[in-house]
Every structure is written in C-alpha cells, then in structure tokens.
Amino acid sequence: MSPEEKKKGQRYFSLQPSEMAVLAGASQIFAAYISAGKVTEENKNDYYKIAIKDAIRISRIVEKSIESDDELPAV
C-alpha cells in the first residue's frame, strides 16, 4: 500500500478548545459509568451519548454560573 493510499483510509479531525474540554469531561463521566458497572458491550454506544450529554449539560451550567475575565464589562 502506497503512502497516498494509506492517507486516503485515515480520518483526521481537529477539535476546538471547548470541544476538547467537553471530550475530557465526557471521558471522565464515561469512565465513572464503567467503574459503576453500568456499561456493557451492548449498551456502550448509549453510554457514550449519555456521557456527552451530561458533559454538555454541566458545561452549560458552568457557563451560566461563572463570568470569566474576558466576559466582564469594562469599567
């Protein structure tokens, strides 16, 4: 297989900083579901989606609760 053919089969993506933060949170939530014994091979994809939704929900609550320095009005 040539390098060009190899590249065609590969998938690339780039996450924005906010997406990376949600990914990190969702990964930790998913790991907690695994540790709690809730994840099986049969429901793994469902728990991926649940963890992502949970991470987004938490992110929205944080966004509404905290004003960062660049969001504060100028004095």
How far is 73 from 61, CA to CA, in rounded Å?
Answer: 21
Query: Six-digit token pair at 17?
Result: 């900083």
pLDDT of 74 strictly over 90: no
Backbone angles phi, psi at 40, to 5 degrees: -125, 170
pLDDT at position 7 is 65
What does the pLDDT read at residue 16?
Answer: 95
What is the pLDDT at residue 13? 82
* Calpha distance 17→35 (Å, rounded): 27
**Residue 1 scores a pLDDT above 60:** no
CB 38, CB 72: distance < 8 Å = no
Out of 19-28, 30-39, 65-74, least confident range: 65-74
Distance CA 30, CA 48 (A): 7
Q: Give the model's confidence band at 28: pLDDT under 50 very low, under 70 low, under 90 confident, else very high.
A: very high
Question: What is the domain partition of the chain in residue ranges?
Answer: 15-66
- Distance CA(48)–CA(60), nearest Å, equals 19
